[in-house]
Amino acid sequence: MPEGKHVQAMFSGIAGRYDLLNHVLSLGTDFYWWHRMARRSGAQAGKRFLDVAAGTGDSSLALARRGAEVVSSDFTQAMLRLGPAKFRARGLQDRIWASVGADAQRLPFAAGSFDGVTICYGIRNVEDRARAYREFLRVLKPGGQLTILEFSRPRFGWLRALYDTYSLRILPRIGGWISGSSDAYRYLPDSIRQFPDQPTLARELEAAGFRNVDWVNLTGGIVALHTGRK
């Protein structure tokens, strides 16, 4: 099975358990990372945001809590069914504008539809990143901002050693056990380890046409926030 198809099938199969996986496998730091993403994205009342690869909706919720109206998009319909329930449970149902199944490389939205686009832990699984960046640029309004929250490369040698041990050995086993599928996370170690470092990703965004590209490291560089404007 091609890698992209495997990833899609895996997420479809474990959607109901993905929240627990998120929190366990990130050691609880995902809440902090989502909060930083939402704040840096510029989300606020009166702004419309597209959250690509939204998963079960936690990143979309972080944007909505800052007042933005959100379109949650993901290639896995099973994931998208979970997000709206979270919005209703928190009294934010008026903030979710739509929940749409879509591929990051082919977004079904008109040019200039959004004030901001965010993608959290999803860009590493896109087969053609350059095409996805062009799509993000297309659907943004002039001056709109793209914000990417993604696993990165820790800055410190000892932290990188721990990170590699966790992602290569511990994470696939825990993920497989919780998800009920022993090979569910077989794609993760390579997708994380082979992902571009911060300067390389910044150059990719500039090549796609984004300006004012910048990044900030979180938690010692385990995660990085990249931003760029149309």
pLDDT the model gives residue 2: 34
Residue type present at position 71? V
Cα 198 from Cα 221, distance rounded (Å): 9
**Number of domain units in the chain:** 1
Give residue 16's domain range: 3-155+195-229
Reference 37, options 132, 127, 126, 122; nearest CA is 122
| Domain-embedded: residue 129 | yes
Angle in degrees, CA 138, 144, 148, rounded to 5: 85
| Domain-embedded: residue 88 | yes
In this prediction, residues 193-211 reach a mean pLDDT of: 88
| Domain-embedded: residue 19 | yes
Cα 77 from Cα 160, distance rounded (Å): 34
- CATH for 18: 3.40.50.150
Say if CB 172 and CB 186 are below 8 A apart.
yes
pLDDT the model gives residue 194: 59
What is the Cα 228 distance to its own chain's centre? 15
What is the Cα 141 distance to its own chain's centre? 20
pLDDT the model gives residue 1: 31
pLDDT the model gives residue 123: 86
Confidence of residue 192 (pLDDT cuts 50, 70, 90): low
| Domain-embedded: residue 34 | yes
pLDDT in tens, 97-146: 778 878 899 999 999 999 999 999 888 778 889 999 999 999 999 999 99
Say if CB 155 and CB 217 are below 8 A apart.
yes
Confidence of residue 152 (pLDDT cuts 50, 70, 90): confident
pLDDT higher at 66 or 158: 66
Q: Which two tokens stand for residue 207?
A: 């090549």
pLDDT in tens, 67-79: 999 999 887 776 7
pLDDT the model gives residue 144: 98
| Domain-embedded: residue 116 | yes
| Domain-embedded: residue 27 | yes
pTM of the predicted model as reported, rounded to 2 decimal places: 0.83
Cα 224 from Cα 21, distance rounded (Å): 20
| Domain-embedded: residue 149 | yes
Confidence of residue 24 (pLDDT cuts 50, 70, 90): low
| Domain-embedded: residue 160 | no
Q: What percent of the chain has pLDDT over 70?
A: 77
* Residue 3 pLDDT exceeds 50: no
